Amino acid sequence: MSELRRDPIIGRWVVIDPSRNFNKIAVSDSDVYPKDHSGCPFCPGNESMTRPEILAYSSNPKRLPNTPGWNLRVIPNNQPIFAIEGILKKRAEGMYDRMDGIGAHEIIIETAEHEVKTRTPENYETVYKAAMERIKDLRNDTRLEYILFFQNRGAAANAVFEHPHSQLLATPIVPKRIREEINGGKNYFTYKERCVFCDIVSQEISDETRLVAENDLFIAVCPYASRYPFETWIIPKNHGSDFDAVPGKDIISFSKISQTVFSKLGNVLDNPAYNVMIHTGPLKEKDLPYYHWHMEISPRLARPAGFEWGTGLYVNPVAPEEAAKYLRESE
Amino acid sequence: MSELRRDPIIGRWVVIDPSRNFNKIAVSDSDVYPKDHSGCPFCPGNESMTRPEILAYSSNPKRLPNTPGWNLRVIPNNQPIFAIEGILKKRAEGMYDRMDGIGAHEIIIETAEHEVKTRTPENYETVYKAAMERIKDLRNDTRLEYILFFQNRGAAANAVFEHPHSQLLATPIVPKRIREEINGGKNYFTYKERCVFCDIVSQEISDETRLVAENDLFIAVCPYASRYPFETWIIPKNHGSDFDAVPGKDIISFSKISQTVFSKLGNVLDNPAYNVMIHTGPLKEKDLPYYHWHMEISPRLARPAGFEWGTGLYVNPVAPEEAAKYLRESE
C-alpha cells in the first residue's frame, strides 16, 4: 500500500511507495564527459577559454587576473540564460505579459582540481563565501528580484561540465517554487504565528527518524514529503530568510554539515549525480519572519514517471525514514 | 537576448531563448525496448499476463473476456500507484499530514497492434470514449477527487511499455498543477468575469502565429509561455470544465484534431517521445465557469537544465511561434 504525504510548506502531496520498481537513470558520466580533460575551460592554464573573471581567490597576492594560481574563480557564463546589459522593457502582448531576459549568470569554479577525491569543510566554506560576496554585489542592481545558487553534478543531473562548479542565476522575477514557499510560509505564519521551517526543525530533532546529521547550528534531514529517493535538506536552526546575511561563524557550521552530508551521499549512493539549490528570500523582501533559507539536495537516481512533469504529483519509491537511516549510519 | 514570458493561467514565467544550445535527450527506444515483442503483455494472445480486463471493445459479440479478438482493452495496472481496496485513513503525524494511497490505476491498451504506422481519427475516438466510460464509472467512488488521463510514448518520455497505451490515475487528492490552474482561472474570472482559457482561444485565433491547427470545435496551439520545445495544447472552443461531459459529436472533432496534431508532430520531429495529459476539473467540482478542460502534449526533446527541477523556472530554446510555423506547414 502506498502512502500520500503532504508537504507542510507548499501543500504538495507526494506518493511514498517502497513497493515500487525503481527505474534507474541510464546516462553515466563516462558516456558524456571526455576522458582527456586537457580541454576543460575550468582548469588552470585554460583561463583564456572563459570570459574574464569577476572574482578570484588566490594565496599568491601577486597573481595577475585570468592566469593560473587561483583556488576559486568566478566567471560570467559563456552561454548566459540572462544578460546583464539592457533594460527590462516590461510590456503586454494582448492578454499576455513579457519582458527582456535581463539578469546575470555566473559560474563559480570551486577548485583548481578537475577531479576532487575528498573535500574538506574549508572547500565548502570558500565556495559559500564567494557566493555570498557575489550576491552582495549583485544586490546593487535594482532590476534584479532573485539570486539562485545551484549546482549540477554529474551527467544524470545535466551538468554540462565535469569540473566542480556552482552557478549563480540572478533573475528579474521571483521563481515560481520560491514564491510558493513564501506564500505557504506566510499562510502558516498567519495561522500559527510561527515559521513553518522552525517548526520542522523542532519536530525533526525530536522525531529523529528522518535526521541525517546535526551540529550546533544546522540539521540535515530527508524531508517528510520527499519527492525523490534520498532527497536531503540542510536547514539552519536559527531563523533567517536571507542566505547572504548569515554571519561568517555560522557559515563554518554550514560548511561542516555540508561536508558531512555530501560525504554520506557519496558513500551510500556511490557518487551519485545530484542537483543542489539554496532557497533564500527575494532580494527586495529582506528579513521575512515567515521564510527560512535552506539548501535542497536532490540526488538523480530514478527516472520520473511521465505524469510527474505535468501534474506535480511525485512518486518516490524510497521512504525518507529509510533513506535517512542509511545516511545516518554511514560515514 | 532571451525573453521572459508569463503564463496567463498560473502566472509562471518561462525563458524563451532561441540562441541557446539544445541538449538532446540521449535515450532512444532501441536502447530500452526489446526487438522481439512476443513477450509484450499488451499484445493479443498474452491476455493472461495482465490482470483481468475491466472493459474491452470488440467487433465479435461472442468474444469471451481475456481472450484475443479485442480492439481496445482496459486493465488494472499490475503495479498500481494507488490501490482500490482500503480506506483513506487521513491522519496527522505531528505537524504533518498523511493518508493511505487509495485510488485506481488503469491501463487502456489502445489497439491490438504493437506497432501502429498510421492512425485514423477513429483510433483516437475509441480511446477517448473508453476513457470517458471509465471516468463515468469511477465517479461513483466518493473517495476519489481527481482522474488523470495521460500517455507516455517512447523511452525518453519514460514509457515502460512500447505497445500504445494510455493510463487513468484516479487519486484521493487534486494534483498540485491542476489546483494551480483552477486557482489561476478563478482569480482571472474574479477580475475579468471571463474564463482565461476562452480568452486564450480568442486571442490565438486572431493572432494566428501560434496556431497549429483549427477545426469547428477545437484549436491546437503552441502556448505563449511554452515550457518545452514544440509543447502543444488542444483546447476546445466551447467552454466546459469536465472532459467526460463532452458530447459524442464533439469527441469526433477532438479525435480529428488529435490525429492532425500527432501526425504533424510525428512528421516534423521524426516520431518523438512525448507525454500527453488531459487537464479536466476535479470530480467534486463540476461545471466550473472559470476552468476549461484541455489536452497538453509535451514532446521530450531537450534535457532540462538542472535548476528547472527545483525552481519551476523553465528555459525553452524554441520559440512557440517558430514551432507552430513548422507544425502548421507540415502534414
Cβ distance B170 to B138 under 8 Å? Answer: yes
**For strand A274-279 and strand A294-299, is the pairing parallel, antiparallel, or unpaired?**
antiparallel
Over pLDDT 70: what percentage of chain B? 97
Residue B280 sits at the chain A interface (C-beta within 8 Å): no
Q: Compute the nearest-CA separation of A321 from chain B (Å).
A: 13
Over pLDDT 90: what percentage of chain A? 81
pLDDT value for A288:
98
Strand ranges (E), chain B: 3-6, 13-16, 55-58, 70-76, 91-93, 96-100, 104-109, 146-153, 165-171, 211-214, 218-221, 232-236, 274-279, 294-299, 314-316
- Are residues A275 and B310, on separate chains, in Cβ contact within 8 Å? yes
Q: How far is CA A186 from CA B57, B98, B214, B217, in A?
A: 52, 22, 44, 43
pLDDT value for B32:
82
Tell me the per-residue pLDDT of B39-67, one tens digit each, with 9 for 90 and over.
999 999 999 999 999 999 999 999 999 99
Tell me the per-residue pLDDT of A31-53, one tens digit each, with 9 for 90 and over.
888 899 999 999 999 999 999 99
Q: How far is CA A193 from CA A66, A190, A198, A289, B94, in A?
A: 51, 6, 11, 9, 17
Nearest CB to B15: which of A26, A81, A159?
Answer: A81
Quick one: average pLDDT of A60-74? Answer: 97
What is the spatial distance between Cα B132 and Cα B168, in angstroms, rounded to a whole number?
A: 10
Q: How far is CA B129 from CA A314, B68, B109, B249, in A?
A: 28, 21, 13, 11
Place of cell 514570458: B5
Indicate the pLDDT class of residue B26, thresholds 50, 70 and 90: low
Tell me the per-residue pLDDT of B284-323, one tens digit each, with 9 for 90 and over.
999 999 999 999 999 998 777 666 766 778 899 999 999 9
pLDDT(A310) > 70? no
Q: Which three cell numbers stand for residue B314?
A: 523553465
Mean pLDDT, all residues of chain B = 93
Residue A6 sits at the chain B interface (C-beta within 8 Å): yes
- Using DSSP's 3-state secondary structure scheme, residue B93 falls into strand
Mean pLDDT, all residues of chain A = 93
Higher pLDDT, A271 or A205: A205
Q: DSSP letters of B179-230?
A: HHHHHHHHHHHHHHSS-HHHHHHHHHHHH-TTEEEE-SSEEEE--TT-SSTT
- Using DSSP's 3-state secondary structure scheme, residue B151 falls into strand
The pTM for the full model equals 0.94
Quick one: average pLDDT of A215-235? Answer: 97
Indicate the pLDDT class of residue A306, thresholds 50, 70 and 90: low
Place of cell 503532504: A6
Indicate the pLDDT class of residue B27, thresholds 50, 70 and 90: confident
Indicate the pLDDT class of residue B209, thresholds 50, 70 and 90: very high
pLDDT value for B79:
85
In chain A the first and final C-alpha atoms are separated, in Å, by 32
What is the spatial distance between Cα A172 and Cα B7, in angstroms, rounded to a whole number?
A: 16
pLDDT value for A301:
87
Place of cell 515560481: A176
pLDDT(A204) > 90? yes
Q: Residue A78 contacts by C-beta under 8 Å, 6 or more apart in sequence?
A: A41, A50, A51
- Chain B CB contacts of A303 under 8 Å are 158
- Are residues A23 and B310, on separate chains, in Cβ contact within 8 Å? no
What is the spatial distance between Cα A108 and Cα A89, in angstroms, rounded to a whole number?
A: 29
Cβ distance B221 to B268 under 8 Å? Answer: no
The burial of B38, by beta-carbon neighbours within 10 Å (0-12 exposed, 13-18 middle, 19 or more buried), is given as: exposed
Sheet holding A96-100, edge to edge: A91-93, A96-100, B3-6, B13-16, B314-316
What is the spatial distance between Cα A258 and Cα B153, in angstroms, rounded to a whole number?
A: 39
Q: Which three cell numbers stand for residue A115?
A: 577531479
Q: One-letter amino acid identity for B67?
A: T
pLDDT(A61) > 80? yes
pLDDT(B330) > 70? yes
Which of A195-209, A289-303, B72-86: highest mean pLDDT? A195-209
What is the spatial distance between Cα A148 and Cα A278, in angstroms, rounded to a whole number?
A: 7
> Which has the closest alpha carbon to A107: A169, A44, A47?
A169
Indicate the pLDDT class of residue A313, thresholds 50, 70 and 90: confident
Indicate the pLDDT class of residue B248, thresholds 50, 70 and 90: very high
- Are residues A83 and B2, on separate chains, in Cβ contact within 8 Å? yes
pLDDT value for B207:
97
Indicate the pLDDT class of residue A1, thresholds 50, 70 and 90: confident
Residue B306 sits at the chain A interface (C-beta within 8 Å): yes
**For strand A232-236 and strand B70-76, is the pairing parallel, antiparallel, or unpaired?**
unpaired
Q: Is the dihedral of CA B235, B240, B243, B244 positive or negative?
A: negative
Over pLDDT 70: what percentage of chain A? 98
pLDDT value for B134:
98
pLDDT value for B306:
65
- Are residues A86 and B177, on separate chains, in Cβ contact within 8 Å? no
Indicate the pLDDT class of residue A26, thresholds 50, 70 and 90: low
Alpha carbon A239 to chain centroid distance?
19
Residue B82 sits at the chain A interface (C-beta within 8 Å): yes
- Chain B CB contacts of A207 under 8 Å are 94
What is the spatial distance between Cα B266 and Cα B286, in angstroms, rounded to a whole number?
A: 35
Inter-axis angle of helices A248-269 and A320-329, to 10 degrees? 100
- Are residues B225 and A277, on separate chains, in Cβ contact within 8 Å? no
Q: Compute the nearest-CA separation of B331 from chain A (Å).
A: 27
Tell me the per-residue pLDDT of A109-151, one tens digit each, with 9 for 90 and over.
999 999 988 899 999 999 999 999 999 999 999 999 999 999 9
**For strand B70-76 and strand B91-93, is the pairing parallel, antiparallel, or unpaired?**
unpaired
